[in-house]
A and B are shown apart, each in its own frame.
Chain A
Amino acid sequence: MIVTPLFSAFLIIIMGWFKKSLCYPLMIIALSVSTFSSFANLESVLSHGTLHYHLGNWQPPWGIEYVIDHLNAFVCVIVSGISLLIGISSKRMVEKEFPEKTVYFYCLFILQVTGLLGIVVTGDMFNLYVFLEIASLAGYTLIAIGEDGAPFASFNYMIYGTIGACFYLLGVGYLYIVTGSLNMADLSKILPSFHNSTVVLIAFAFFAVGVAVKMALFPLHVWLPDAYTYAPSSVSSLVAPLTTKVGAYVLIRVMYTVFSPSFSLQVIPAGTLLCWVAAVAVLFGCILALAQTDLKRMLTYVLIAEMGYIALGAGLGNRNGLTGALLHILNDALMMACLFLIIGAITYKGWPRKIDQLTGLHRKMPVTMAAFVISGLSVIGIPPTCGFFSKWYLVLGAIDAKQWVLAAVLLISSLLNAILFFRVIEKAYFKPVPEDSHGGQDKIMAIDEAPLSMLIPVLLLVGGILLLGILSGKIISKVIQFAIPASL
């Protein structure tokens, strides 16, 4: 599952020398293979329990081990599924924006997916750092091929991202000199005897800060708006939902599997601190999103707020909160992928991205705007879309932990999200179209919808948003329930 995208990345470059038109199908095949194998993994994890794979047949803790338990399999399915859908839709956008570099784009795209899948699947701390850097480097390069300010934004992202990854590496190093092991399961057995050691506390701090940079948690989110706004639309629809969510997965993995939950929540009050920082992130993201005039930039601030939700759920530390966080990883990946794809479709058709200039969009691209409305409803949190269920669990978790302020923050942010999305919907649906910009033939406007290869993933994602909302209970009882450590 990891090997397929990696090898196909090299194959794509080689094939690009011979026959350019074969690269796209190859990429789709590779992504489909990893999607199918991650679904198969999920099935076998559900029926048999945790899967272990030893690299090179070296036993852990001496060798690198790939562990797939419920949490892994869940995130793996999300990553590969969404990357497949976005890979399908990226063809038209790529050919329009940089037609002579499509081969390199596909290769980098698949390398990014390789890195993300590797982060999710590995059970070894240093291997996670390697894959983290693979994903990050591919991301920096992909973002830099965008429009105006892209190289500078990507450079900024690179500086921040390297600091984050190096802090993570430092944390791994601190843990290694104390315990002598790099395997996650092994560390979780050895660490409880070290709970009072300063080294371990500092290691936890390094992990938290490093992962927070990757996850764009509040004070360290500065790279995200610039980087994702100036990136080309196909890149931001791949990178935006996935990279930050995988960062959140790493945070949950570090907090709950490597350091046992009792350490993360009691010895260091990391849960409380994380909750408050996340609450500020949520409010901050929503309020700043209100101030934006550019639709894509507004969505990046909404993304920051969504990461705040996940961190809030992870920090709450009780069963409901963590369920909400994990469910929100799934939902937010779907919503953000859908929203960024819609913006890609709008930009592909030549519309400007300023919110004020979106009038009349509903007549030209009705299906796309309908999808936007449904995704917006999901961000706000209206049943039966999936966003409602994850927020429900988060609020339940906040009430369980008796943190009334956090519950209030969640509800206020839903209101702010409502203002945001309804503003866009009003501009697109209800404002009358100015007469002068269309020459006079304004009786029947031709429907100039996005091409089918971009429309189908959008529709699939929207269907997924609705369907997964209804099936939330089943998802929780089958998958998420086992992903939460038993001591919570």
Chain B
Amino acid sequence: MNKKESLNRVEIIIGKYNYWAYILLMMIGFYAMIGKKNLVKKLIGMNIFQTSIILYFISTGSKKGATIPIVEQVPGEAARAIEAIQYINPVPHVLMLTAIVVMVSTFGVALALLLMIYRKYQTLEEDEILRLRK
């Protein structure tokens, strides 16, 4: 059964600061994607948005006082029992490696698109492009 703890306000703000950081980054990226008129700024906003998600995932995998999840083993020695609780969770890191690759490739494709748009319209401002297309 889930036990609902009631957190007071200070605990929420200070205790969960990683979530606040990721929300702040995500909102900055989101605003840039929607509110800015320059296409390059939109693209950077998209990048910030995706980076904030990566930050979120990795921050959920960290533990207090835990170390990097690499098991040291002298070759030839029998395998030791591993206490999983001493290592930070490696699964979010692995997932985020994939997400970083996706982010970089999306960025590449977007830059190629921006090149095409610039060659055609000679500008990268969204409202000018919309006016030129009418």
Interface residues of chain A, those whose CB is within 8 Å of chain B, are 126, 129-130, 133, 137, 140-141, 144, 148-149, 151-152, 154-155, 158-159, 162-163, 166, 169-170, 173, 176-177, 194, 196-197
Q: Do A155 and B114 touch (CB < 8 A)?
A: yes
B46 touches A140 (CB 8 A): no
Assuming the contacts A149-B133, A166-B53, asked whether A154 and B33 have C-beta atoms less than 8 A apart, the reply is no
B73 close to chain A: CB less than 8 A: no
Chain A nearest CB: distance from B53 CB in Å?
Answer: 6
Other A-B pairs beyond A148-B133, A155-B114, A194-B2, 5, CB < 8 Å: A133-B106, A144-B113, A159-B42, A162-B49, A176-B60
Residues of B within 8 A of A148 (CB): 133
- Shortest beta-carbon distance from A340 to chain B in Å: 23
Residues on A with C-beta less than 8 A from B42 are 159
A-B contact count (CB 8 A): 68
Interface of A: prevailing SS: helix
Q: Is there an interface contact between B109 and A126, defined as CB atoms closer than 8 Å?
A: no
A129 to B95 Cα, complex, angstroms: 10
Q: Which residues of B contact A (CB under 8 A)?
A: 2, 30, 33, 39, 42, 46, 49-50, 53, 56-57, 60, 91-92, 95, 98-99, 102, 105-106, 109-110, 112-114, 116-117, 120-121, 129, 133
Which residues of B are found within 8 Å of A129, using beta-carbon distances? 99
Q: Is the CB of B33 within 8 A of A163?
A: yes
A133 touches B102 (CB 8 A): yes
Main secondary structure of the interface of B (DSSP, over half): helix
Judge whether B56 and A158 touch: CB under 8 Å: no
Interface residue from A130, A141, A149, A173 paired with B60 (Cβ < 8 Å)? A173
Report the nearest B residue to A141, measured CB to CB. B109
Q: Which residues of A contact B33 (CB under 8 A)?
A: 159, 163
Query: Which residues of A have CB within 8 Å of B116?
Result: 144, 151
23 A-B Cβ contacts within 8 A? Answer: A126-B98, A129-B99, A130-B98, A137-B109, A141-B112, A149-B133, A151-B113, A152-B129, A152-B133, A155-B39, A155-B110, A155-B113, A155-B114, A158-B46, A158-B113, A159-B42, A159-B46, A162-B49, A162-B106, A163-B30, A163-B33, A166-B49, A173-B92
Min Cβ gap B55→A in Å is 11
Assembly CA distance A173 to B114 (angstroms): 31
Residue of B nearest to A127 (CB): B98
Q: Give A155's nearest chain B residue, CB to CB.
A: B113
> How far, in whole Å, are A162 and B53 apart by their CA atoms in the complex?
12
Alpha-carbon gap, A176 to B96, bound state (A)? 13
Name the CB-closest residue of B to A145: B116
Q: How far is the CB of B94 from chain A (nearest CB, A)?
A: 9
When chains A and B are docked, how far (Å) is the Cα of A487 from the Cα of B42?
A: 45
Task: Report chain B residues within 8 Å CB of A194.
Answer: 2
Looking at the assembled complex, report how far the CB atom of B81 sits from the nearest CB atom of chain A, in whole angstroms.
Answer: 18
Kindly provide the distance from the CB of A377 to the nearest chain B CB, expressed in whole angstroms. 35
State whether A152 and B53 are in contact (beta carbons under 8 Å apart), knowing that A137-B105, A137-B106 are contacts in the complex.
Answer: no
